[in-house]
Amino acid sequence: MFFAVLASLIAFSAAGAVPQIPGDNSDYVEGVSRYIWMADGDGMPHLVDLEEPVDQSVLNSRNGANNQYWLFTRQNRNNPQVLVNGNINSVWNSNYVASRPTKVIVHGWNSNGYSAINPTIRNAFLDVQDCNVIVVDWRSLANSNYVTAVVGVPGVGQFLGNFLIWLFNNAGGNWNNLHLVGFSLGAHIVGSAGRQAGGRPRRVTGLDPAGPLWGGNSNALSPSAGVFVEAIHTDGGLLGIFDRVADVDYYPNGGRNPQPGCFISTCSHSRAYQFFAATIRYNHLAGRQCSNLNQASNNQCAGAVLNMGNSILTKSGSGIFRVNTVSNYPF
C-alpha cells in the first residue's frame, strides 16, 4: 500500500511539475505530464499547458475557411500569389500550371507562412523541379493555445482537401502529381486533407507528426491519407509521435531526442523538416528496414534499403526504417 501511494505521488508530481529549462522536455511523460515546451516557427520555445481550456472564440466550424493558400513557382520564388478558394480568377491570374507537379507545405503550431519550414522546403523543391508549391498559412488557428489548435486541426485539413478538389476540378491538376507535406500539427492537417480528398494524393509526408494529445486520436495522420504515406520521426515520445502512423515510418538515429547536433527536444523536433529539405536536394539518406521499433532504436536494422524523404512522386514501400545521419547539413 505504501509503495502504491508513493508511486501515485511521484506520478502526480511529474504531471504537475513545470519544466524549468526552455526547450528541454527530458522530464515529460507522455499522457501524464501537464506541461511541455514547444517551439514556435522561429524555433523559440514556449511553455504549453496541455490542460488549457479550448478557446471557443477562436474555434468554430469554419476555422479552416481562414486558410490562405500561397502559390510559389520558379517565376515567383519569393513573392507569393494568393489563390482563393472559389475565385477562379485568382488562379487564372497566377503562375499556376496544371501540368506541373504540385507540392503543398503545411506549418505547425504558433507559426505562419513565413516560418522557417516554408522557405526551407519550398526552395528545395523549386531548386530541383519546375513545380507549383502551395504554402498553407493557417495562422489564425495555429497561433491560439495548443489545445485549441489540436481541436481545430481536422477542420483546417478538411478545408485544405476541399480547396485541392476545387482547384483540380476547375483549373486542372493531377492527383498523381500531388505531394502533401506537413510538419508537427501540419502532419495531421495533411492527413485530414488527404482523407477529405478520398486518399487520392499520390504522396503524403508527415514530418515528426505532433505527439501531445495525439495518442489514440482518430484524426491523426494515417495510411488512408494518400496512395503512399510516410512519416519521419525525430522527437518521438516528446513533441512527436513515436508509434507508427504511415505506410513507411522512418526513425532517423532512433527517432528520439537528442538528434545529432541537438541537446533539447525542440531542436530534435525541427530536425524532421531540415532532414527532409536536404533529401529533396540530395536524396542521400538511406534507410534500412527493421523488424520492429526496438531494432530501430538500437541501430540493429539490416533489411532492404529505402531512401528517406526526396521528391520522387512514385515512391512506394512499407515498414519501419532506421536512418543514420550526422549533425550538420546536409546530414
Residues with catalytic roles: 184, 208, 269
Q: How far is CA 207 from the centre of its chain?
A: 4
CA gap 54, 154 in Å, rounded: 15
Q: Which three cell numbers stand for residue 88?
A: 477562379
Instruction: Confirm if 39 and 208 have CB atoms less than 8 A apart.
Output: no
β-strand pairing of 45-49 with 35-39:
antiparallel
- Alpha helices per DSSP H over the chain: 2-16, 88-92, 117-128, 139-142, 146-171, 185-196, 265-282, 293-297
**Segments in 197-315 forming alpha helices (H):** 265-282, 293-297
Strands 228-232 and 203-207: parallel
**Best CA proximity match to 207, nearest among 186, 224, 232, 190:** 232
Residue 83 CA: distances (Å) to CA of 91, 166, 327: 6, 11, 38
Cβ contact 150:141 at 8 Å: no
51, three cell numbers = 490542460
Cα–Cα dist 254/235, whole Å: 9
Label the pairing between strands 68-73 and 45-49.
unpaired
Show the cell assigned to 5: 501511494
DSSP string for 40-65: -TTS-EEEEETTPPP-TTT--TTGGG
